[in-house]
Structure 1
Amino acid sequence: MDGGLWMYALLALTTAPPLVPNAALIASAGALAEAGELSLVLVLLVVAGSAVAGDAAVYGIGRLAEGRATRWLSRTTRRKAALTWTADRMHAHGLPFVIGVRFIPSGRLIGGLTAAIARYGARRYLLGAGIAEVVWASYSVGLGYWGGSALDNTWSSIFIGSGVSLVVAALAQALSRLGRRPSPAVALPPAGPERPADGETAA
């Protein structure tokens, strides 16, 4: 077990920041847990916990550097559209959307920054992010664990994991729309250097 401490550290370092490709590493950790070289429970805790910590850091950066985050997200038409789209749906659909946005490309980064800029409640955001990361960690590690061999099944785990992510995101989107009415567009703070008065509004 002691020899695997470096693996836990590597898992934490590659899972906490968004946009770092680590699917193969997580699948390998699951296979090593199946072989008895790592603790399955500890692998799950490290992966899920590091991901939630990273989500909290993204949200915190968005609040502390709101002007810069807004300017970065508004720099291109595509980013600005993603910011507005995400903010509107986050306030309209709440937790189901916060959970689902984690599973779309760049969802951790865009979702966390948008939640901060749009004044979505920190505790509700972290609750949704926590649920999403537990689901993600469970199937990501589980694919490697049940695959049985990191070398033979890593790529299969990556492809299956990507497919599961899309299914989870689609289900969360479908659930978020049931019985909900469209909400008016959320007013976002300006992208200029001035930061508006701080006031958190929970959805």
Structure 2
Amino acid sequence: MASLRPDKFEPVNFTQAQFQQMVAEQLRLRFDAVEAALPNGVDDEADSSKVKAYLQKDFYETLLDMGHGITVDGNYIESLDHLEQLVHGSKVEYEPVDPVLEVQVRDAVAETERVTNEVMELRALAPSVVADSYQQVVDRAAESIMQEIRDIDNIELSLPNYRLDPTEIVQERNYAINELSRAVEDLPERSEEVDQVHRKYKFLELNNV
């Protein structure tokens, strides 16, 4: 499979060791987040191996979809076989995942993405409102969460972000909800944008997000 190579985009180059380290770290973060989001966690060793295999395959497909932004030792990633060779030294055989477990894992991955997107949407709304207090509160909450998410800052890819500490996220987001709701209620006049922010936070509050 040939990789896209847009002229205007300068790919980020990894050494093979750096690439292996990045992949290992991302897979570890994803597994931690999914384990926390699954209804019963991942207690069984066999299930643990299957979940890791599912997340690995899913992440490799993501890397391939965005492969035009990455080179390893100056070479583009051309195929799944090539990627697996770079990381593992050989092709990987994936165990079949139980359909029920696969659905649970997919839902857990979607939930971590949803939480991340909600935070970023709220952060994007704040600058369009009138007061600095909105920006400061959202920045403080989002910054704390982003530290846990551990985004890959040095490559221009929209890779999914995991490693979410559920307890800390709930605390930070509840704080942001309370602060922003209070700030909105204190404003003498509400513009349409202010009402939009208020409705968004009320939705999160009512849905215990």
TM-score (norm 1): 0.26
Higher RCO (C-alpha under 8 Å, 6+ residues apart): 1
Give the structure with the larger helix fraction: 1
TM-score (norm 2): 0.25
